[in-house]
Structures are given as structure tokens and as C-alpha cells.
Amino acid sequence: MVIAAGSVGPKHVVTMRRDAGGLICVALHPKIADNFGLPYLTEVYEKASSHFNVLLSTRPDDLPYDELSAFSLAVNHRRTFTGITDIDRALTIRELGKLGAKALNDPMVEEFGRNFRSPGHVSLLRAADGMLAERKGHTELVVTLAELAGIAPVIAVCEMLDAETGKALSLEAASAYASERGLPYLNGVEIVRAYGGK
């Protein structure tokens, strides 16, 4: 389930939380992540591992789908209270969308720090520098989709899970969910094809 971060309100967070059920994150274009000064979380752990041995022993070096997780910092907007409520998470996500649109072309490390604190309740995902040419994960797919749509490539994402099986929701069930609610449904292959045809 994906939505442009700058448009997210509390009801969207409720829908993602109740209907999708996965981790609510914000995917960022690599230029925005660089202009915010955001590292990959694995890089932070690597630097800190000399002080905390547990970070070495828990390295994600056995991921079956890539060699580097897309996770960066988790943040809350500084105007939030606990950061976890639907209202607080919506504020954090919406403000990430607004500032991210400005950060596509300009460094904003200090402004990012003035607006957000870490740790927080909204996980940030860095798209790979080479985008789809480097990695075809959900992070790169939704950031590419935003580019194709001509909107700021700052996207709220949440995996859709199946409460009955305990697994990811099947493509058929996700398609049916979208159809019942009048929502667009896209397969990652469609995004890759559209991007290649640009």
C-alpha cells in the first residue's frame, strides 16, 4: 500500500495500520536521502560496532533478497508527542513529504535536524543510488513510481499482510482489495516496464 507522503493524513495511517498491517515506512529518492544526510542503518551499526559487540553479531549479512537493507533512521517530527499515534505518524510522514520535495535539489541536513528527531516511529528507507538498475525492491519501485507520476519521490509504504496465513497478502487478494475500493493496483513488473520505456 503506497501513498504520496505529502498527502498523508491520520485516516491514511489508520488504513495502512488496519488494512495493510505491515511496517509503515517512508521511501526516499537517493538524492533526497543524501541531501538529508541519511546513512543506511547498517552503516551506523558498522561504525558503532566497536563499542557494541551485538551490532557485529546481528549484521544482516544473510538477507535472501539483497546485500544491504534499505533501512535508514527512524524519526518523529519534533511537533509530535509520543510519535506513535495516527495523528503523530501522519504529521511526521506529511512533513517528510514537504521537506523531501525541497531536498531533491538542495542539501538540507540542518533543516532536517530542526524538524525531526531520532529514534522515532517512522522508519526511513533509502532507495539504492542506482535505483532500479541496482535493486528492484519495493523501495526503488515506489520511488520510481513517484518519478513517473511527476510527484515528489517521498512515498509512505506499508506491506499488506494476510491475517489468516500470517504471510504477505497474495497478489490476487491485494488486487481484489484495490478493486473493491477503486484503488489502482500495479505489479512491480509494470513499473519496471514503464520506467524502461521513458
What are 12-71's pLDDT values in tens digits? 999 999 999 999 999 999 999 999 999 999 899 999 999 999 998 888 888 776 656 799
Q: How far is residue 152 from each of residues 53, 58, 114, 137, 139, measured CA to CA in Å?
A: 39, 34, 21, 19, 14
Give pTM, 2 decimals: 0.94
- Rounded average pLDDT over 122-144: 94
Classify domain 2-170 by CATH number.
3.90.870.10
- Domain residue spans of the chain: 2-170
Average confidence score pLDDT of the chain: 94
- What pLDDT sits at residue 68? 65
- Residue 113 clears pLDDT 70, i.e. is over it: yes
